[in-house]
C-alpha cells in the first residue's frame, strides 16, 4: 500500500513539474482577448463593421462564385476534369474569404451565410485527394508535378485553409474543414520533416497556421512541424529542387531565421515569417527567435516604415530595397503588408508589455489597413502610395486578389487588439468603444469602453465586476499631456513601458477616465529619407492626413507649411460616413486635409501626404 501511495505521489509531482515546465517555457507576458469576447459599439468602427457585413463579404462571395472562377476550380477538381482558371495560388483567396465569413458569423449569426460557408466546405472536401493532398492547381494541371517547385504556394494555400478551418470550427463547432486540414497536414508530414525531404515554402503562412491548428487540437507534431519549417531557411535548400531562379533574399532564405537582423525581399512574406517565429517562440520558449525579432523590428520600424505604418517601398519585389528608400509616388505599401504589421506588433506586445508595439499597430491599422478598403466597403486598394497623380484608384477585385480577401478576414476580427490579460493585470491597448467579458485568472470580468476615438481623446473605462489586480492603460506616443482619474479623483499611477499602471481592488461600477487632448502636428521624416527632405506630414492622434485635389482644386500646387501655419480641425458628419477635416491656413493661402484612409472615395484627382515646408 505504501509503495502504491509513493508511486502516485511521485507521479503527481512529476506531472506537476512537467506542467510547470511547459508553463514556464512560454515567453508570453500577456494573453490576447479574442474578439468573440468583445462587442464593438462605437460609431467609427461600428460603421466599418456594418459595411463589412452588407458590402465586403457579398462582394467577395460574388467575385469568387460568379466573376473569377475560383470556386469552379474546386468543382472541377472534385470531378477530376476541366481546366484550372486564374493563378496557381487562387485557392487561398477562397479560404481567406471563408475565414472572414466565419468571423462575421461570430459577430453576426446568419443562417444563410453559414449555409453558404457549408456549401463551400463541401466543395473543398470533394476536391481533396485520397492521400490528403488538396490544391486545385495541381489536381487540374498534373498531380505528378506537385511538390516539385517551392515557389508554387502549395503550403501557403494549405496554411490559409487551416486558418479558415480553425476559424469556422470556433464559430460553429463544425469540424469538416478541420478534418480536411488535418489530412492535408498528415500528407505533408509524410513527405517533409526530420530525416525526410527538405522544403522551404516560397511564401510563408503555413508556419503560423500550424500553430493555430496545434492550439485547437493539442497535437504537438503540428507545433514541431512549424518549428522545423522555420529552421529550414538559410541552408541552401530553397535553391535546389527545380525552383527556377530562387532569390534567397526575396524569399527570406538568405540566412537562418534566428540570425536575421535586416528585413529583406517581399514584405508580406516577411510579416508572415515573423508572426510564425513569434508564435513558435511563445510556445517553445525559444529566446533566439525573440532576439532576432527585436533586431528585425528595429530595422523595419526605424529604417523602412512609412509615416502611415505601411511597409514595402518597391513594386519590383513587393518589398524592400535599401534603408530609408521611401518614395511617395512610387510607394508600394501593399495592404496585406499593413495587416501583417498589425499581426506582428500585436504578438510583440504580448512578449514585452511595451506600448511601442501597439503604437505601431495603431498607426498601421488606422492608416495602412483602412486605406485598403473604400468607405462603402466594396472596393479595394492593393497598393497604397503616399502621392498620386490622379490615376490610382480602388478596384472591385484584382487578378491577384490577396488584399480584398485579406481585408475581408481582418476587419471583423478588430476586437482582438483592444485588450490583453495576464496573471496580475488587465491591459487596455486600443481605445475602441465596446462591451467585453475578459477571461482573467480571477474569472470573467466585464469591461466597457466609451470613446469617440479617433476624433476625440476622451475615454471612459468601466469595470463591471470586483477585481483585484492592476489595470494597465496605454498612453499613446502621440499624447503630449493627459489627465487620468478613477471615480472622479486623480489616479495614483506609475508609468511602465508606456502603460499607466493602476493598482488596487476594483469594485463593480468603478470608472477610469482618461482625457487626451488630440493635437494637430507637423511631422518631419528622418533626414536620410530623400523623398521627404523639405516636407512635412500632418498627423492628428493616430491618423495621418492628406491633401486631395477635389478639396483644393485652385491651390493644390500652392500648398506650403511653416512654423506659423494654423490648423483647425472639425468633424463633418455628412462626408464619407463622418470624418474629421483639417483646415490649414498659411499666410493668405488656405487648404483642406482629410484622413489618409479616406482618400479616393470621391472625384478622381491628385493626392499627397508630404507637403512642402519652409523653415
27-79 pLDDT, tens digit each? 889 999 999 999 999 999 999 999 999 999 999 999 999 999 999 999 999 99
Question: pLDDT means per 10 residues in the chain (615 residues)?
Answer: 32 33 62 96 96 97 96 98 96 98 96 98 98 98 97 97 98 98 98 97 97 98 98 92 79 97 97 98 96 98 98 95 97 97 98 97 98 97 98 95 95 97 97 98 97 97 97 97 96 96 95 97 97 98 98 96 96 96 94 98 97 94
- Is 279 a domain residue? no
> Of 515, 545, 564, which residue is a domain's last?
515
DSSP, collapsed to helix, strand or coil, labels residue 388 as strand
Cβ atoms of 116 and 71 within 8 Å: the answer is no
Sign for the pseudo-dihedral over CA of 366, 371, 375, 376? negative
Number of domains in the chain: 3
- Is 288 a domain residue? no
Cβ atoms of 481 and 517 within 8 Å: the answer is yes
> Of 515, 539, 561, which residue is a domain's last?
515
- Is 163 a domain residue? yes
Give residue 17's pLDDT: 33
Same domain for 138 and 173, yes or no, is yes
Give residue 126's pLDDT: 98
Degrees to nearest 5, angle at CA 32 with 542 and 260? 75
> Under 8 Å CB-to-CB from 521, ≥6 apart: which residues?
478, 538, 539, 540
- Is 233 a domain residue? yes
pLDDT tens digits for range 79-113: 999 999 999 999 999 999 999 999 999 999 999 99
Same domain for 190 and 100, yes or no, is yes
Same domain for 118 and 169, yes or no, is yes
What is the DSSP track for 512-576? EEEE----EEEEPPPTT-GGGTTEEEEEETTEEEEEETTT-TTTGGG--B-TT-EEEEEEETTST
> Of 515, 534, 556, which residue is a domain's last?
515
Q: Are strands 470-474 and 425-428 parallel, antiparallel or unpaired?
A: parallel
The interaxial angle of helices 335-352 and 287-303, nearest 10 deg, is 130
Residue 279 CA to residue 206 CA, distance in Å, equals 12
- Whether 580 sits among the annotated catalytic residues: the reply is no
Q: Is the peptide bond before 130 cis (omega within 30 degrees of 0)?
A: no
What is the DSSP track for 189-236? HHHBSTTSB----SS--HHHHHHHHHHHH--HHHHHHHHHHHHTTTSS
Q: Which residues pair with 122 in a beta bridge?
A: none
Same domain for 475 and 531, yes or no, is no
Same domain for 564 and 492, yes or no, is no
Same domain for 507 and 559, yes or no, is no
Give residue 202's pLDDT: 96
Q: Are strands 387-388 and 419-421 parallel, antiparallel or unpaired?
A: unpaired
CA-based nearest residue to 469, from 439, 434, 498, 503: 503
CA distances from 537 to 422, 448, 521 (A): 37, 34, 8
CA-based nearest residue to 235, from 270, 198, 260, 206: 198
Same domain for 241 and 211, yes or no, is yes
- Is 508 a domain residue? yes
Same domain for 100 and 218, yes or no, is yes
Same domain for 436 and 559, yes or no, is no
Q: H-helix or E-strand containing 351? A: helix 335-352
Same domain for 526 and 511, yes or no, is no
What is the DSSP track for 473-529? EE--TT-S--EEEETTEE---EEETTEEEE-SEE-TT-EEEEE----EEEEPPPTT-
**Catalytic hit among 204, 232, 318, 362:** 318
- Is 4 a domain residue? no
**Catalytic hit among 402, 403, 546, 549:** 402
- Is 331 a domain residue? no
Same domain for 586 and 602, yes or no, is yes
CB atoms near residue 39 (< 10 Å): 14
- Is 297 a domain residue? no
- Whether 400 sits among the annotated catalytic residues: the reply is no
DSSP, collapsed to helix, strand or coil, labels residue 239 as helix
Same domain for 98 and 211, yes or no, is yes
Domain of 583, in residue numbers:
520-612
pLDDT tens digits for range 157-174: 999 999 999 999 999 999
Amino acid at each position: 500500500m505504501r509503495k502504491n501511495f509513493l508511486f502516485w505521489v511521485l507521479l503527481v509531482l512529476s506531472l506537476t513539474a512537467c506542467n510547470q515546465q511547459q508553463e514556464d517555457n512560454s515567453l508570453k507576458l500577456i494573453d490576447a482577448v479574442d474578439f468573440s469576447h468583445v462587442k464593438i459599439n462605437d460609431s467609427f468602427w461600428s460603421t466599418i463593421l456594418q459595411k463589412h457585413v452588407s458590402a465586403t463579404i457579398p462582394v467577395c462571395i460574388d467575385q469568387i462564385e460568379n466573376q473569377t472562377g475560383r470556386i469552379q476550380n474546386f468543382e472541377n477538381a472534385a470531378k477530376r476534369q476541366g481546366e484550372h482558371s486564374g493563378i496557381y495560388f487562387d485557392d487561398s483567396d477562397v479560404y481567406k474569404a471563408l475565414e472572414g465569413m466565419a468571423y462575421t458569423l461570430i459577430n453576426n449569426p446568419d443562417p444563410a451565410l453559414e449555409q453558404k460557408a457549408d456549401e463551400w466546405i463541401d466543395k473543398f472536401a470533394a476536391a481533396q485527394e485520397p492521400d490528403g493532398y488538396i490544391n486545385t492547381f495541381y489536381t487540374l494541371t498534373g498531380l505528378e508535378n506537385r511538390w516539385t517547385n517551392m515557389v508554387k504556394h502549395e503550403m501557403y494555400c494549405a496554411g490559409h485553409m487551416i486558418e479558415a478551418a480553425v476559424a469556422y470550427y470556433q464559430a460553429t463547432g463544425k469540424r469538416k474543414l478541420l478534418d480536411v486540414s488535418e489530412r492535408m497536414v498528415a500528407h505533408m508530414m509524410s513527405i517533409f520533416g526530420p530525416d525526410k525531404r527538405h522544403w522551404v515554402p516560397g511564401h510563408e503562412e503555413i508556419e503560423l497556421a500550424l500553430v493555430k491548428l496545434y492550439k485547437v487540437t493539442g497535437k504537438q507534431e503540428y507545433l514541431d512541424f512549424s518549428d522545423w519549417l522555420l529552421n529550414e531557411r538559410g541552408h541552401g535548400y530553397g535553391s535546389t529542387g527545380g525552383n527556377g531562379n530562387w532569390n534567397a533574399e526575396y524569399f527570406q532564405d538568405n540566412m537562418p531565421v534566428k540570425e536575421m537582423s535586416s528585413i529583406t525581399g517581399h514584405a508580406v512574406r516577411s510579416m508572415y515569417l515573423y508572426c510564425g517565429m513569434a508564435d513558435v517562440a511563445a510556445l517553445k520558449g525559444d529566446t533566439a527567435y525573440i532576439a532576432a525579432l527585436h533586431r528585425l523590428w528595429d530595422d523595419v520600424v526605424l529604417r523602412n516604415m512609412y509615416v502611415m505604418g505601411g511597409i514595402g517601398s518597391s513594386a519590383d519585389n513587393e518589398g524592400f530595397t535599401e534603408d530609408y528608400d521611401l518614395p511617395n509616388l512610387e510607394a508600394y505599401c501593399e495592404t496585406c503588408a499593413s495587416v501583417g504589421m498589425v499581426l506582428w506588433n500585436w504578438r510583440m506586445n504580448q512578449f514585452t508589455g511595451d506600448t511601442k508595439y501597439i503604437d505601431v499597430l495603431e498607426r498601421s491599422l488606422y492608416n495602412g489597413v483602412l486605406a485598403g478598403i473604400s468607405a462603402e466597403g466594396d472596393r479595394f486598394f492593393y497598393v497604397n502610395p503616399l502621392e498620386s497623380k490622379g490615376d490610382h484608384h480602388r478596384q472591385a477585385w484584382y487578378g491577384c486578389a490577396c488584399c480584398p480577401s485579406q481585408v475581408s478576414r481582418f476587419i471583423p476580427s478588430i476586437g482582438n487588439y483592444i485588450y490583453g490579460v495576464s496573471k496580475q493585470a488587465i491591459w487596455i491597448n486600443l481605445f475602441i468603444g465596446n462591451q467585453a467579458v475578459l477571461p482573467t485568472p480571477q474569472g470573467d470580468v466585464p469591461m466597457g469602453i466609451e470613446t469617440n476615438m479617433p476624433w476625440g481623446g476622451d475615454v471612459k473605462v468601466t469595470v463591471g465586476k470586483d477585481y483585484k489586480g492592476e489595470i494597465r492603460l496605454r498612453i499613446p506616443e502621440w499624447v503630449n499631456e493627459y489627465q487620468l482619474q478613477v471615480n472622479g479623483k486623480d489616479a495614483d499611477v506609475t508609468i511602465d513601458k508606456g502603460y499607466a499602471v493602476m493598482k488596487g481592488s476594483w469594485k463593480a461600477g468603478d470608472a477610469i477616465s482618461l482625457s487626451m487632448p488630440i493635437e494637430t502636428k507637423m511631422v518631419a521624416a528622418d533626414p536620410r529619407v530623400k523623398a521627404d527632405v523639405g516636407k512635412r506630414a500632418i498627423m492628428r492622434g493616430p491618423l495621418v492626413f492628406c491633401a486631395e485635389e477635389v478639396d483644393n482644386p485652385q491651390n493644390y500646387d500652392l500648398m506650403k507649411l511653416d512654423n506659423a501655419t494654423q490648423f483647425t480641425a472639425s468633424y463633418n458628419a455628412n462626408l464619407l460616413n463622418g470624418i474629421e477635416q483639417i483646415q490649414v491656413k498659411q499666410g493668405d493661402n488656405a487648404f483642406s486635409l482629410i484622413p489618409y484612409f479616406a482618400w479616393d472615395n470621391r472625384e478622381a484627382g491628385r493626392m499627397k501626404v508630404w507637403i512642402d515646408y519652409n523653415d
